[in-house]
Structure 1
Amino acid sequence: MEAESDRTEGQAARLPLSVFVIAQNEAARLPRTLAAARFAAELLVVDSGSTDDTVALAEAAGARVVHHDWAGYGPQKAFAEGLCAHDWVLNLDADEVVTGALAAEIARLFAEGPPPPAAYEIAILNVYPGDSRPRPWAADYRVVRLYHRSIGSYRRHALFDRVELAEGVRPARLAAPIWHYPLTSWAQFVEKENRYSSFQAREARERPRWLLLLRLVVELPMAFLKFYLLRRHVTGGWKGFAFALTAGFARWLRVVKLLERQGLERGVKENPEKSDDRMKHGP
């Protein structure tokens, strides 16, 4: 009876907030993500067809798991958002961890019950393979992740998963960050960026050929400088240099694949009877 009482009190102490995660084959990283989000009254995982232990581990962590076939980043998150039991929601990727400082900051917002509808940007800081924390003075990016569903929702764009806020709503900023563990190894980083650049090239809108040819020349150095200097990977030593260069190469590779797509589409128009299967199937 004492254990049951403790469990009930623990549930009651959780914040009236839903944390939702979209996942596929994230057994290695998802448990840490869910464990750090136990301050929320609801943990929701939308799985798009995992073949590893993702579903079992999510359920063991106390999450409600719902299957939904992959529909693209924005639609998948919008679907998960709509299933949440609470109007205040926090979106996490399966490889992200809420820091203790951020959990405490969110708890202060809810100290007297659910606050009035608002939206909050949170800093997402990358952690390199083999490291336990972000590099010094990291400045990766800020996005709206904590918000009230009455004033914001995920746009249904297959590529850009961004929260769109109601007209006139300006997001506030939380001071503490989310730590992002996007890479299990450098080899996995390259494989991931190759797959993602293919997806981007397939889903992106048509661009003028002259613009793509210009970007073919400038994309890699400009993207490298953006990551290395503006996002401060320069403070990450050799790992920071490797990250910035690989990320910049991925941006350049997307341009190459967009040019390839244009060539394939032109070939289909000129020879419709010889339509290439690559126009139908992604990697």
Structure 2
Amino acid sequence: MQQKTPLSVVIIALNAASQIEACLKSAAFADEIVVVDSGSRDDTREIALKYGARVLHQDWLGFGRQKQFAIEQASHDWVLCLDADERVSDPLRASIVEMLQAPRFRAYRMARCNRFMGRWLRHGEGYPDWSLRLFDRRVANWSEDEVHEKVLTTSPAGNVQGDLLHESQESLTVYLEKQDRYTSLQAEALARRGKQVSFGRLVASPLLRFVKFYFLRLGFLDGVPGLVHIVIGCFNSFVKYAKLHELNEKGKL
């Protein structure tokens, strides 16, 4: 029987005591779990140690660089990157274990299913939300983006079956506060790259986004949570470009 490729699960965390236990349980099939904590003041570290994880501290570097630091600490080259509020579903675990017997690719995407306002979203922006999270770190790395980071790979990527479950417990108020921070970071990154925004893009971007996800991607089938999720995404697009315009105007003064 062919030996399974060893796998490290890497998790970044901060004050995630209410979430990380379920994440760790779902990742127990891995050969190693590494948790990189950026200064939790709750029981995150203690819970991770209880489940046999190797826990390291790293001051916050931004999402992309923090995740890159995490994969560099792993003992194995194949890594599965998780956030503390994510869980590996049983079908996804089975697919990963089978794939690791004889990988055909060196990077893999998986469908990410988001729970929002108490409902698992199955359409629109909320699903399948393909995410490249499983890869050989010798051919892939995380981008340095402070927010909306992504995996960059020089190798073709395949898909594994089964959902990565994003079980966020945050309230709508907390979610909106987070989106405000994210749009600011995005606008600042665009401004640093010298990007400009036209009136047409400011108006058209959220409108086209709504048509795409609510109608073409059947977001209306997710009821009120689906509508709210998509409208917030459209508003984020508008606000991001509005903030970019503001930064550009300030730069002219």
Report the CA distance shift for 1:160/1:196 in structure 2 as closer, same or farther (over 3 A).
closer
Q: Please tell me whether Structure 1 or Structure 2 has the larger radius of gyration of its CA atoms.
A: 1
Indicate if the aligned counterparts of 1:233 and 1:243 stay in contact, CA closer than 8 A: no
Instruction: Report the Cα offset of residue 129 of structure 1.
Output: 2.6
8 Å CA contact 1:20, 1:44 repeated in 2:
yes
Once the two structures are superposed, what CA deviation does each residue of 1:30-55 show, in whole Å capped at 9, x if it has no partner? 22111111111111111122223222
Unpaired segments ≥5 residues, structure 2: none
Tell whether 2:233 aligns with 1:247: yes
Which runs of 5 or more residues in structure 1 are unaligned?
Answer: 1-13, 268-283
1:233 is matched with: 219
Query: Could you tell me how far apart the structure 1 residues matched to 2:28 and 2:222 are?
Result: 31
How many residue pairs were aligned? 247
Question: Does the alignment pair 1:143 with 2:135?
Answer: no
After superposition, the Cα gap between the structure-2 partners of 1:223 and 1:20, relative to the gap in structure 1 and judged at 3 Å, is: same
Structure 1 residues 50, 265: CA separation in 2 closer, same or farther (over 3 Å shift)?
farther
> What amino acid maps onto 1:172 in structure 2?
G
1:44 paired with 2:34, answer yes
1:56-205 to structure 2, matched below 5 A, reads 56-111=46-101, 115=103, 118-131=106-119, 133-135=120-122, 139-166=127-154, 169-182=155-168, 184-204=170-190, 205=193
Higher relative contact order (CA 8 A, sep 6+): 2
Given that 1:139 and 1:232 are in contact with CA atoms closer than 8 Å, whether structure 2 keeps it comes out as no
Distance 1:238-1:106 versus aligned 2 partners, 3 A rule: same
Distance in 2 between the 1:229 and 1:35 partners?
37
Percent of paired sites with the same residue: 35
Matched letter for residue 170 of structure 1: P
CA spacing shift, 1:246–1:105, aligned 2, 3 Å = same
Q: TM-score, normalised by structure 1?
A: 0.79
CA spacing shift, 1:244–1:64, aligned 2, 3 Å: same
Tell me how far apart the structure 2 counterparts of residues 35 and 212 of structure 1 sit (CA, whole Å): 48
Partner of 1:9: none
- The 1:78–1:27 alpha-carbon spacing in structure 2 relative to 1, beyond 3 Å, is same
C-alpha displacement of 1:174 = 0.9
Judging changes above 3 Å, is the alpha-carbon distance between structure 1 residues 64 and 101 closer, same or farther for their aligned structure 2 residues? same
What RMSD over aligned residues (CA atoms) do the two structures have, in Å? 2.2
Question: Take 1:233 and 1:218, find their aligned partners in 2: how far apart are those partners?
Answer: 19
Please give the secondary structure, in 2, of the residue aligned with 1:40. coil
